[in-house]
Amino acid sequence: MTDWFQKTFSMTRFGRGFHLVTSDIEREIPELREFEIGMAQVFIHHTSASLTLNENADPTVRDDFESHFNEVFPENAPYFKHTYEGPDDMPAHLKAAVLGSSLMLPIRRGRFHLGTWQGIYLCEHRNHASGRTITVTITGQKT
């Protein structure tokens, strides 16, 4: 039998950058522990923030992500027309489009079944963003 679970919650406000949030998300969904095996979709409800999966040990990786994405998508580019909310507006949308708004993660024995050095990043691309809304949808077999 396949079971389903879904929860929407708000993350606290993060400053601009790449933030490791794996344990924050797991804390928000204690129901994850009920699943022996399954899949979880983690979805962010915003167009100027994103999610990605990457290095969870060395924080300089997250700093390098921020530096690189700022080079690729600079603020104040003369060809940007969508600047209603400031110079970080259009670059934030581009960064979010490249990284994406959701992750599909395997579940094993009540936890996300990630690689040894993998963690979920909430990628905040705005200078002055509010909290972000996340929905986690789980399907699988409970214990």
Domain boundaries, the chain: 3-74+84-133
Instruction: Please report which confidence band the pLDDT of residue 1 belongs to, taking 50, 70 and 90 as the band edges.
Output: confident
CB 112 within 8 A of CB 40: yes
Q: Comparing C-alpha atoms, which of 64, 69, 39, 54 is closest to residue 116?
A: 54
Instruction: Please report which confidence band the pLDDT of residue 93 belongs to, taking 50, 70 and 90 as the band edges.
Output: very high
- Residue type at 55 in one-letter notation: E
Instruction: Please report which confidence band the pLDDT of residue 57 belongs to, taking 50, 70 and 90 as the band edges.
Output: very high
Q: Comparing C-alpha atoms, which of 122, 126, 123, 124 is closest to residue 136?
A: 122
| CATH code at 3-74+84-133 | 2.60.120.460
Whether the pLDDT of residue 125 is over 90: the answer is yes
> What's the pTM?
0.96
Contacts of 143 (CB under 8 A, 6+ apart): 34, 35, 36, 110
CA atoms within a 13 Å half-sphere pointing along the CA-CB vector of 137: 6
Measure Cα distances from 33 to 91, 99, 131, 134, 138 in Å: 37, 28, 26, 18, 11
φ/ψ (deg, to 5) at 40 = -125, 130
CB 125 within 8 A of CB 96: yes
**To the nearest 10°, the Cα dihedral for 32, 131, 75, 121?**
-20
